[in-house]
């Protein structure tokens, strides 16, 4: 279903572009003669956006179809929507995008009951009174008495839940005077199919992790996306509109907004693009703009012989990640084609490297550098660099997170392949995230093995192995040799994650995956969960 959601947009774009080519073959819609015709097309399209509930999505669709028809030289505001022409301010749905409840009038308990009733969940709750008691207790712990209620005190809740995997999320905020307190309630169903409230999230870090770009997109039924994004930005001001559009499943609109933000940053900065610091990759060349928190990755023309891959297979790996549940452990990727950068913003060293390693994908003129294909990811501190400067507590936390990342990925059938620390990053909240996908594999496709004992008389100094090795064979006991060369790092890893060095652990995960039992790595911490009877089950593994 997730794959269908992501691919649906591209299929509609392709269908539209083909229909235009078929039905308007006689019209000149590409090249120098098309200027007047295309300007009229855009002008007519703008007229159709009046009173449209999703003009930003309609503009994005226009751009997506246009770039399949136009030459890159025509990617300007005259022919496509580089800047929005329709405001999304104060567009709202009928009924409105969020509902308001007033505890001063009806009491907090009755207000929360109305919140749940108004969603009209079809399934019954296993024990709603119990859940309500726990939510009330959690709210009161967050707002200990005496808590002065102002005249405008209210609870505002978005009208549609956010769905992801096996959980629905009720998103809202508490307004009291000039203060606003965001909250999210996670709703799950038990083994009997009945609903229960599993968690209450109110801390900034919990909300940031839930809405992280390192997770799969939510499914949200929105008539007016801009109203939902505006609500979310009010409770998470550190998130950009581009990030939030992506989070609510409108990744193409988010991608369009991201590029607008990028152009805005370019026009308001003066630093130059440089080769990204750190260990150079064998598959990608990476560059960055120091004042901009992202990196730009381009697949090399000639990939090192030690990497048994090519450009097509690397792109397949990145497509796999885009369609997969990233469980907060794989950074989101933005894929672009024909990106034009100002020539004078490139350092000489970067331009020299690009022309040496990706000449087929770079076109240089006096005014611009066009990169034919690239990926954009949020910049993070590489784990290997983080460990070089970490104190004992930071090292222990990072290594525990590193192992947790491998286990979370394994739970959703992902094996990172290249486990070197340089391929993992540390986020601002101290979470470890994987970001180098060229060797990624489905866990169930791998063959996890123990190294057999050497035959009698084997020379320990020989470089030859005494056992056959297939392309998808993995020997977990070798992880210790090439990963844990630092004694302190080794000690931390063995304390928290010794099981990852045992082939039997990986084989056990494979058996669970092949059993068909639904698996969900929860998007929130155990501390945010509400009490549950032990017999009810955990309902999923909590994010560490």
Cα gap 495→388, rounded to integer Å: 20
Q: Does the bond joining 407 to the residue before it have cis omega, within 30 degrees of 0?
A: no
Instruction: Evaluate the CA torsion angle 341, 342, 346, 351 in order and state its sign.
Output: positive
Cα gap 170→232, rounded to integer Å: 12
3-state secondary structure 227-243: HHHHHHHHHCCCCCHHH
Closest CA relative to residue 327, chosen from 431, 206, 424, 215: 215
Residue indicated by tokens 């056992």? 467
Identify the helix (H) or strand (E) that includes residue 201: strand 195-201
Closest CA relative to residue 470, chosen from 492, 453, 445, 493: 445
The 3-state DSSP class for residue 366 equals coil
Catalytic residue list: 332
Q: Is 520 exposed, middle or buried (0-12, 13-18, 19+ CB in 10 A)?
A: middle
Closest CA relative to residue 253, chosen from 220, 208, 287: 220
Q: Is 178 exposed, middle or buried (0-12, 13-18, 19+ CB in 10 A)?
A: exposed
Q: Which two tokens stand for residue 510?
A: 């494979």
Q: Does the bond joining 146 to the residue before it have cis omega, within 30 degrees of 0?
A: yes
Q: Where are the beta strands (DSSP E) in 360-407?
A: 362-364, 368-378, 381-382
Q: Which residues pair with 212 in a beta bridge?
A: none
């Amino acid at each position: 279903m997730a794959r269908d959601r992501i691919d649906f947009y591209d299929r509609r774009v392709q269908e539209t572009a083909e229909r235009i080519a078929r039905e308007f073959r006689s019209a000149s819609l590409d090249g120098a003669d098309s200027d007047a015709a295309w300007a009229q097309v855009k002008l007519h399209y703008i007229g159709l956006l009046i009173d449209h509930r999703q003009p930003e999505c309609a503009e994005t669709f226009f751009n997506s179809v246009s770039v399949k028809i136009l030459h890159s030289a025509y990617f300007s505001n005259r022919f496509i929507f580089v800047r929005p022409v329709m405001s999304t301010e104060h567009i709202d749905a009928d009924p409105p995008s969020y509902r308001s409840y007033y505890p001063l009038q009806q009491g907090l308990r009755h207000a929360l009951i109305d919140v749940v009733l108004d969603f009209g969940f079809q399934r019954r709750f296993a024990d709603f009174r119990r859940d309500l008691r726990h939510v009330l207790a959690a709210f009161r712990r967050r707002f200990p008495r005496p808590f002065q209620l102002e005249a405008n005190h209210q609870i505002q809740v978005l009208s549609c839940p956010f769905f992801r995997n096996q959980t629905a999320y009720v998103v809202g905020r508490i307004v009291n005077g000039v203060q606003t307190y965001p909250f999210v309630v996670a709703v799950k169903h038990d083994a009997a199919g009945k609903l229960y409230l599993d968690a209450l999230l109110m801390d900034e870090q919990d909300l940031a992790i839930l809405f992280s770009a390192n997770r799969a997109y939510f499914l949200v039924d929105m008539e007016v996306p801009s109203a939902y994004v505006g609500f979310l930005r009010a409770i998470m001001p550190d998130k950009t509109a581009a990030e939030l559009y992506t989070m609510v499943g409108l990744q193409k609109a988010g991608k369009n907004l991201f590029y607008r933000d990028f152009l805005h940053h370019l026009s308001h900065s003066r630093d130059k693009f440089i080769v990204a610091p750190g260990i150079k990759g064998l598959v990608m060349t990476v560059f960055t703009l120091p004042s901009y928190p992202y990196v730009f990755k381009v697949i090399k023309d000639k990939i090192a012989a030690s990497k048994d891959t090519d450009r097509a297979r690397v792109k397949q790996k990145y497509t796999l990640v885009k369609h997969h549940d990233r469980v907060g452990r794989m950074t989101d990727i933005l894929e672009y084609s024909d990106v034009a950068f100002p020539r004078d913003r490139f350092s000489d060293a970067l331009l020299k490297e690009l022309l040496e390693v990706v000449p087929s994908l770079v076109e240089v003129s006096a005014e611009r550098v066009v990169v034919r294909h690239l990926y954009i990811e949020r910049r993070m501190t590489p784990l290997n660099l983080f460990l070089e400067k970490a104190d004992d507590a930071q090292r222990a936390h990072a290594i525990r997170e590193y192992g947790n990342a491998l286990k979370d990925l394994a739970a959703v059938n992902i094996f990172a392949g290249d486990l070197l620390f340089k391929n993992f990053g540390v986020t601002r909240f101290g979470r470890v995230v994987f970001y180098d996908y060229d060797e990624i594999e489905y866990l169930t496709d791998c063959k996890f093995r123990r190294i057999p004992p050497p035959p009698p008389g084997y020379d320990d100094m020989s470089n030859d192995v005494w056992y056959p090795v297939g392309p998808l064979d993995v020997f977990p006991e070798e992880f210790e040799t090439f990963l844990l060369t630092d004694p302190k790092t080794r000690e931390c890893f063995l304390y928290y994650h010794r099981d990852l060095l045992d082939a039997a652990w990986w084989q056990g995960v494979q058996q669970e995956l092949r059993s068909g039992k639904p698996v969900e790595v929860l998007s929130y911490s155990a501390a945010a969960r509400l009490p549950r009877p032990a017999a009810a089950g955990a309902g999923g593994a909590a994010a560490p």
